[in-house]
Structure 1
Amino acid sequence: MGSLNALEEHQAGGRSPGKIDTSLRAQLDSAQWGEVRIGDLFDIHPTRAYRLTNGELFSSAGTIPVVTNSSSNNGITGFSSLPPTEIGPMITFSDTTTGDCIFVQPRPFIGYPHVQGLYPIEQPGEWDCASLLFVVSLMSKYARGRFSYGHKFTRDTARDIRIMLPCQGDGSLDFQAMRRVVAELEARHVAELEARHVAELEAYLSSSGLSDYALSEVDYRALSSLTSANWASFNLKELFGPATRGKRLKSADRTAGVLPFVTAGESDTGVSAFIGNNVQVFPAGSFTIDMFGSAKFRNYNYGGDDHVAVVHTEKLTRNAAIFVTGAAHKAAHTGAFDYGRNFYAKDADALEISLPTKNGKPDWDLMDAIVSAAHKLVVQGVAEFAAREIAASLKVTGLDAQ
């Protein structure tokens, strides 16, 4: 049953068994298994390749995949307008790499130097993408971590790989069993993909304070008002009082804790550590401008070092504060500030930002509505991307026709 463990680990990524796993386990437990040598199943030799330069081979207008020594994108590096040299479906791998590029090529393609093809010997008419995927899973499991550029994954090595496959009573391969296993794993993958995207959307909506992402008439009016609203310049200090400067806390002096500590930088929105030191805690709802003029809204309490200025927008609604943060970022992050000329709290106090107005004052309600609509657009984009990803998975697995 070693092949079962290999297949489950490769396909399921170590996930806990669910209903489909239980059914899958029952199918595989009831199957007969036999050890087979890859070299007895397939004739392994180089794929046919054109003797051309890459410039002559690859074409921006081409549609025929070119399978190279790449370990990503199924080994496909580009496309050509030349006729395919191989038909598919078939297994390919590169003998110049570490065994990380064993793939099933489902459709006609063009071979490449050092790309090996596996051509069926045993029951050649029975092999399809599903049964080939079953074999690739086990070959990949065997090859993982065994090879390097000094000890390459070669034809001879591939021929000698021995795997366990479902067999029938007469000893022939049970292709139907392999197809059922792959079909069930594909169905589980799509179900998990759908569940994950639902969870992601719920998390996005929750973090944005939204119940759904459908744009209302209010949202459309708010977005259209970006071009029709009256705008005016406002001073940050006059709106929110003096900015506060953080205090230096050397890395060596920081103790582990749960308080986010904000420094300058884009990585992790400037949060460099989580500390337990007794430092000034800045309130959620404010925003920071770092030494380079980059502004970021903080929806959590945090500490900050002397390279960040804190602007106290915590009395605004969260969405209005986010709008102001964006306006401040646009005004401050212009390239005028760098290591030689840092942005400090005094620069925040002098900063002029552009905001929509109503009766000569900042229109906080409009800003709130605009950001709320923008959040919906972002979540809508995520939902549309998820739908395309799920549709593509259904198409690739053939589940869209069921």
Structure 2
Amino acid sequence: MEWGDFKIEDVLDWQPQKEIDPLKLKELTDETEMIYPFYGQATTNNGIISYNQLTKTVLNNEKGKPTILIHSNNQNIIYLETPFYLKDGHGATSVLQSEKLNKTNQMFIIGAIERVIKTKYSYNNKATKIELKNSIINLPIKNGKIDYEFMESFIAELEAQRIAELEAQRIAELEAFLLASGLKDYYLTKEEQKVLEDFENGKLNWKEFNIGNLFDIESYKKRFDANKVIISETGKPYVVRTSLNNGIRGFINEDEEYLNDGNTISFGQDTATMFYQEQPYFTGDKIKIVKSKDKKFNKLNAQFFIATMTKSFSSFSWGSSSYNIKIIGNQQIQLPIHNNKPNYEIMETFITAIQKLVIKDVVLYADRKIETTKNVVSK
């Protein structure tokens, strides 16, 4: 590849700046109004700091030419934030344009400009417009002219490679998760097939039980106010009445004396939302701890209990009342039985069968993508 040195002003036309005071922009009164991005001294979100309704008298780049934004002030001093590519340029401070500029080759050109800014200037040594215009950038050439075609193909190749790498990483993470969770194999065992067939054909024996006969319904050891706790990425789970993320709002670090037992079901009194909690946890307001009286209770059959309990409470209207210990304990649920007792083994087999059926499409998708990604990355 041949390279050539070019002044920035020979590659891009520097357009006159229109001063725009963001405080004087008309606020939106209707979502249907025409709005434009306002570009300011930002290093994220492609330089956009807000969206406003602007009149055409203050639009930079009114015709929407391909543009690179460079921040500057009234004294023509260039700020050293990252240049950005604009599709329209409305509200921008200083814009550099070229008819040959597009969303692909602009990445190459912006990279060349950034190298100049970071090499020659600093926070205490800012460039003027004239200095930056006369700065030299290094670009690929063909027959003595700037090779825009090469820049586009180079950026496109980098993007394709990056996408392949990201996809490979995500597929690897998915594969690791499936293996760790025991869901990699989606083939049903004979026992799982039989349980599903018996369920479909009504051959399972069922019986109604009061929840209170199978579980102890306990109050939390201490209520931790959601407005006062400090949520962090480490600590013990903090369970509240949300229906998301297994009821866990985050993690908190509090006195572990007030941890509720793991291997239990958390029950939101106002929402009737239930989740299996494997680890000890803290709670917010109106959470009951549903603790099994049987040592056979575990993470697998807990999913069956939660499903049948959720069905039993399905007539409950959210927010109409709050379930107390007595009401929860007297609620009846249906369970498969053996010798007139809950059949924990059947429940576990049923859940593993359902998990495999649910995960089958994901596993097949992962297998296809893994094979495709390997072929792409190896080329």
TM-score if structure 1 supplies the norm length?
0.56
1:304 corresponds, among 266, 283, 308, to 283
Alpha carbons 1:205, 1:211 under 8 Å: kept: yes
Could you say which residue in structure 1 is the equivalent of 2:305?
A: 324
Alpha carbons 2:263, 2:277 under 8 Å: kept: yes
Answer yes or no: is 1:280 the counterpart of 2:254.
no
Where structure 2 has 5 or more consecutive residues not aligned to the other structure, the ranges are 13-33, 40-44, 47-61, 67-81, 113-138
Alpha carbons 2:141, 2:147 under 8 Å: kept: yes
Could you say which residue in structure 1 is the equivalent of 2:205?
A: 230
2:281 partner amino acid: Y
Alpha carbons 1:285, 1:318 under 8 Å: kept: yes
Alpha carbons 1:258, 1:275 under 8 Å: kept: yes
After superposition, the Cα gap between the structure-2 partners of 1:221 and 1:170, relative to the gap in structure 1 and judged at 3 Å, is farther
SS in 2 for 1:355: strand
1:263 partner amino acid: V
Q: How far apart are 1:221 and its partner, in Å?
A: 2.8
Q: How far apart are 1:356 and its partner, in Å?
A: 2.0
Identity of aligned residues (%): 18
Partners in 2 of 1:177 and 1:159 — Cα distance?
15
Aligned residues: 280
SS in 1 for 2:336: strand
Could you say which residue in structure 1 is the equivalent of 2:214?
A: 239
Alignment of 1:89-108 (within 5 A): 96-97=36-37
2:163 corresponds, among 165, 174, 189, to 189
Could you say which residue in structure 1 is the equivalent of 2:153?
A: 179
Deviations 1:47-94 (A, max 9, x none): xxxxxxxxxxxxxxxxxxxxxxxxxxxxxxxxxxxxxxxxxxxxxxx9
Could you say which residue in structure 2 is the equivalent of 1:134?
A: none
Alignment of 1:328-343 (within 5 A): 328-338=309-319, 340-343=320-323
Q: How far apart are 1:349 and its partner, in Å?
A: 0.8
Alpha carbons 2:11, 2:98 under 8 Å: kept: no
SS in 1 for 2:145: coil
2:185 corresponds, among 209, 212, 217, to 212
Q: How far apart are 1:307 and its partner, in Å?
A: 0.6
1:301 partner amino acid: P
Q: How far apart are 1:287 and its partner, in Å?
A: 0.7
Partners in 2 of 1:145 and 1:277 — Cα distance?
52
Partners in 1 of 2:35 and 2:10 — Cα distance?
15
Q: Which has the higher helix share?
A: 1
Rg: which structure is higher?
2
SS in 2 for 1:250: coil
TM-score if structure 2 supplies the norm length?
0.59
Alpha carbons 2:217, 2:329 under 8 Å: kept: yes
Answer yes or no: is 1:270 the counterpart of 2:270.
no
- Tell me how large the CA RMSD over aligned residues is: 4.4
After superposition, the Cα gap between the structure-2 partners of 1:249 and 1:180, relative to the gap in structure 1 and judged at 3 Å, is closer
SS in 1 for 2:83: helix
After superposition, the Cα gap between the structure-2 partners of 1:37 and 1:230, relative to the gap in structure 1 and judged at 3 Å, is farther
Q: How far apart are 1:259 and its partner, in Å?
A: 1.8
1:200 corresponds, among 174, 182, 207, to 174
1:362 partner amino acid: P
1:347 corresponds, among 321, 327, 330, to 327
1:260 corresponds, among 237, 247, 257, to 237
Q: How far apart are 1:185 and its partner, in Å?
A: 4.0
